[in-house]
Every structure is written in structure tokens, then in C-alpha cells.
Structure 1
Amino acid sequence: MKMSLKSYQEIMKNSMLEEDPNGNSELEQTFTSTKKSPRWGPQHKGAQELAKLYGPGKRLQEIICVYTCITLMIIDLILILKHIHFERLSVACMSAICGIITADFGSGLVHWAADTWGSVELPVIGKNFLRPFREHHLDPTSITRHDFIETNGDNFMVSIPILGFLAYSFNTKSPQDIQQDFGWISYLFLCSIFVAMTNQIHKWSHTYWGLPRWVLFLQQYHIVLPRKHHRIHHVAPHETYFCITTGWLNWPLEKIRFWPTLEAVIEYSTGCKARDDDLKWAKKMT
């Protein structure tokens, strides 16, 4: 199966050489005869400005979300193990797979929206939620320098309502109702877990050394987002392969031109230009 509509040379030429994250000098020498200001990496002026916008208020929000989410994960897992019956195992597995696919599509939808629309200057959401997406395109390896809290805070926040609802349901429904709804419970639980872990998986896809063997195994068999697969998204202007949980949906969504069609509808309806803010930050070369 063909994994991308872009050639390997195009991917290499127009994406950051992450094995050498501090410069792109090897990439520039390969495809150009002159040394230019870095198109990506921690020396890019736009990336440096965006990194400085990460403040203590945002950090506190992330800490609260991570610890709350982990607590709910543990509670829900204990309750699921307590109520699981062997005869419901096949239903639970199928529902869980559907939950993972949903999480992958959700990651693509959120990633596409944050990459493509809005501005860092927008109140509340700009600095707190769109800023990391702009920084990531200019310095893709910045995510590998973020700790667990900064990497996962926002995604853990998204999972809290789902996990909280499951904990509430376990404590208010009868055992019979829980068994009847066990497929739905499995779906929501795995969906919320993969939503929560999406940015950690994303971080692994940018990490070229030091990964545990079990992570490499999951990447190799495309159970989570592989490194080579995600590199396709980082071909400027970052207009495809937005799904970053497993990446299973990227190829079919590109084949049906899902994202370009959605962008065309929005541009026609609103007059807004896709990736306008992203391009503005990319131009801050010096």
C-alpha cells in the first residue's frame, strides 16, 4: 500500500533533519549550495519567541490536569477489572479498537484545526493552546525537550470529563446495567486513554534515540504513530497526515482529500486563509 502521495526526496528535502536537531546544516548542504538561516530548530527566531510564551499559569493548569486524569484512570481501570466478565471480552475488545480509531480521528481533527486556523494573539486559547502547535512546526524536536507535564497536560485535560463520567456511571448504575453497557464503557475508556496519551505518542515519533524497546516495537508494527510516518506531516506547509495517535487514518483521509475539502469549504464560507498564522511565524527567520 502506498503510504504517501509525496516522494521520499520531497519529504527529506522539505522536512527537518531530526537526527541533527540543532541546525539542519546537513540538510541544507545536501539540497542547496549556500548556507541560510535555519528553517527549523531551536535557533529559529519564531520558535524562540513562542517558547518564551509558556508561563506559570499554563504550567499550573497542566499539573492539575495530569494528576486528576491519572487518578481517574486508576479508578476506572480498577472498576473495569472488577466488573469484567469473560463472555463480554470479545465485545469489549471490539469496542476498544473502535475507541482507538475514534481517538486517532479526534487527534487529526484537533491537530488540523489548531495547525490551520486561529492566531497566537487570540485571547486565552492563542497563547495557551495554539502556541505549542506553531512552535512545533518551527522546532519539531522541542517536544522532546518537554517533560511529562508539559507534553501531556492538554491531552490529559481533554480526557478528564470522559473518565469522570465513567467513574460516576460505575458508582450510580446497577451491576446489570454495567454489564449491558460494558461495550460502551470499553469504547469510552480506551478512547480516553489514547486521547490522553496522544501527545506522548507524538513525542516518541520525534525521538530518534533512547526509546524503550517496547515503544520501538509498537512503532514498528504501527500500533502507535511511527517516526517515518509522522515525518510526512512535517513537509512544509504541513497540510496533511494530521492524525497523530496511531496514524491509521492518515492515508485514507489523504486519498479522499478530506482536509483540503474541509479547508476549501471554510475558506469559501468565511474568507479566512488556511495556515496564515503558521506562515507568519515561519517567516521570522532572523
Structure 2
Amino acid sequence: MGLKSEDEILHNSMTEDDPNSNIQFNKAAKQTRWGPRHAGAKELASQYTAGKRLQEVGCFYLTLILMAFNGIQLLRYFQIENWYYILPAALLGILSADFFSGLVHWAADSWGSVELPIIGKAFIRPFREHHIDPTSITRHDFIETNGDNFAVTIPALANMAFKFLTYSPEEIMATYNWECYVYLLAIFVSLTNQFHKWSHTYFGLPLYITLLQDLHIILPRKHHRIHHVAPHETYFCITTGWLNYPLEIIRFWTTLENVIESLTGHKPRDDDLKWASKS
């Protein structure tokens, strides 16, 4: 069977004008599948703790400091004649961010449980909540939306800052293109969930954001809606979405799932379906 087009996947699954206003139902059980009033969505939302908030705030501000410092240093050592190396490095950073967003999104969507120690409530919980209440992300402020993504960039940014503080100018220039790659990767990883949030925001976005979406420079709204057609088994990349179709053509995620299921016996998205079935 060939791949379906985007329009075929979306047909009769969500409203075209504003999918956020659409509530999908399980026809057999007459049970609400999506929305903030869903029992599973309420329980998952209640598990966002003050401790989690404190961690997000700390990571957010530390990341901003590291980004500012490293950005100044990159400008300091910038040489215009190297633009033909720097541009591909920057573009590769964006592509890498898109791939890693898909890998993390797929792993958290498909495997694990909210009951797992440490990572369950802190990391997997938001993914479960998002599938049964896709609009929840639009009600989160900037830090709740992006705190975890900012946090994962800290080791790479801290390592970069260490190099700028301790390396000689010659050593810095020798690795400059690599640092450009890492810096753009870190920026796009940090903002991935913001792009994701905007893909669920259908009213009130600035014109420049909708233009970036229409040009597919950041994740477009219609493109991401494909992922939200149950059972949420495709189009996992949420930074730009550039890699979604190529990965779908080669059946990348399906192949990984088949390998893991054959080795472990665990089925993908079992925990996701459990939360969706709560009433």
C-alpha cells in the first residue's frame, strides 16, 4: 500500500478551519477522545508540580546566559570569508534539531509510562497529556512550554563556553564551524516546543510567524495535524517538519517499532492508549 497524501490522512479526522475546536469521539464507546475535560487530561495536568516548575525556571535562565555568552564569542571570531562553511554547518544544525525532535517525540509517545520513576511525571507526562488535550500546550506559558528543551541544551552550551574561555584563538578557529553547528542546533532544539505550540495556535499569531509557517521554515499547522490523527504513529518531527516525509518514505519509525517489539514484546503506544481510554 502506498503512502497517503496529507489531505487523505486529514480527511474526516479534524476540522479544516480550527482543529482545536474539534472533539474526536470513540464511536463505539461514545467517549470523548480529546479535550481539557477528558478525565485523563485532567489527571495528567494536575501532576505538574512546583518542583518541576523550579527546575524549568532554573534551566531556562542558565540556557539564556550560555546562549548570550556563546553568541557573543561566535560573533567575535566570525570571518566573512568562511561563510560557505558556516552556512552548511548552520543548516545541518537545523536538520539535526528536526531529527532529534522526532526521535525524542517518537520515543516518549511510543514507549514508557507516566509511572516510571523520575522521567515518568517529569518527561513522559506532557506527551500523554498532549494527545488527549492537544490544546493544552497553547495554555502553557513560555517556560512551561520550553523549559525541558532549554535544559537538554545546557551540556553542549556549557562545553562550548568552556572552550571559548580556555582555548587559544587558533584552537577556537580550528573548531569554529563545529561550534556554529552546535549553536544553531541548540537554538532550534530550545525553540522546538515553541514552534510546536504555534502549530496548535490558530488565532492571534503575528503575521511573521504565520509567514514562517507558510514557508515551512518552522513547523506548519496543517503539516503537524497529520500527527494528531489517532493513533499518532507518524510525522514525529516537530522543529521544522522537513524530515517527516523522507522518514515516512523509508518507514523509519515503523521499522524501529517492529524491531523493538520483536525484541521486547512491548507494543508501542500502549500507555498512550491507556490514558486516552480513561473516563
| Superposition TM-score, scaled by structure 1 size | 0.92
- Correspondence for 2:87: 93
Q: Does 1:19 align with 2:13?
A: no
After TM superposition, give the deviation of residue 240 of structure 1 in Å: 0.5
Distance in 2, matches of 1:41 and 1:156, equals 27
- Correspondence for 1:136: 130
Mean Cα deviation higher: 75-84 or 36-45: 36-45
CA-to-partner distance for each residue in 1:160-185, whole Å, 9 max, x for gaps? 11111111111111111212211101
Distance in 2, matches of 1:169 and 1:146, equals 35
How does 1:124-163 map onto structure 2 within 5 Å? Answer: 124-163=118-157
Distance in 2, matches of 1:169 and 1:205, equals 36
After TM superposition, give the deviation of residue 36 of structure 1 in Å: 3.9
How does 1:29-178 map onto structure 2 within 5 Å? Answer: 36-178=30-172
Distance in 2, matches of 1:236 and 1:113, equals 17
After TM superposition, the runs of 4+ consecutive aligned structure 1 residues lying more than 4 A away are 15-18
CA-to-partner distance for each residue in 1:110-134, whole Å, 9 max, x for gaps? 0000000000011111111000000
- Correspondence for 2:4: 5
How does 1:185-224 map onto structure 2 within 5 Å? Answer: 185-224=179-218
- Correspondence for 1:279: 273
What code does the residue aligned with 2:20 have? P
Distance in 2, matches of 1:269 and 1:168, equals 41
Distance in 1, matches of 2:240 and 2:167, equals 33
What code does the residue aligned with 1:111 have? H
* Residue segments in structure 1 that go unaligned for 5+ positions in a row: none
After TM superposition, give the deviation of residue 153 of structure 1 in Å: 0.5
- Correspondence for 1:241: 235
After TM superposition, give the deviation of residue 5 of structure 1 in Å: 2.1
Alpha carbons of 1:18 and 1:168: their partners in 2 closer, same or farther (altered >3 Å)? farther
State, as a whole percentage, how many aligned pairs show the same letter.
58
**Contact 1:22/1:43 (8 A) holds in 2:** no
Alpha carbons of 1:260 and 1:23: their partners in 2 closer, same or farther (altered >3 Å)? closer
Alpha carbons of 1:9 and 1:261: their partners in 2 closer, same or farther (altered >3 Å)? closer
CA-to-partner distance for each residue in 1:139-194, whole Å, 9 max, x for gaps? 01100000011000100000111111111111111111212211101000000110
* Residue segments in structure 2 that go unaligned for 5+ positions in a row: none
After TM superposition, give the deviation of residue 37 of structure 1 in Å: 3.5
After TM superposition, give the deviation of residue 9 of structure 1 in Å: 5.1
What code does the residue aligned with 1:192 have? A
Once superposed, what is the RMSD of the aligned Cα atoms?
A: 2.0
- Correspondence for 2:177: 183
After TM superposition, give the deviation of residue 45 of structure 1 in Å: 1.0
What code does the residue aligned with 1:77 have? G
After TM superposition, give the deviation of residue 105 of structure 1 in Å: 0.4
**Contact 2:14/2:22 (8 A) holds in 1:** no
**Contact 1:241/1:247 (8 A) holds in 2:** yes
Alpha carbons of 1:10 and 1:90: their partners in 2 closer, same or farther (altered >3 Å)? closer
Distance in 1, matches of 2:15 and 2:33, equals 8
Distance in 2, matches of 1:66 and 1:16, equals 35
Alpha carbons of 1:9 and 1:249: their partners in 2 closer, same or farther (altered >3 Å)? closer
Equivalent pairs, count: 277
- Correspondence for 2:260: 266
**Contact 1:16/1:234 (8 A) holds in 2:** no
| Superposition TM-score, scaled by structure 2 size | 0.94
**Contact 1:16/1:40 (8 A) holds in 2:** no
What code does the residue aligned with 2:214 have? Q
Distance in 2, matches of 1:130 and 1:14, equals 25
**Contact 1:144/1:206 (8 A) holds in 2:** yes
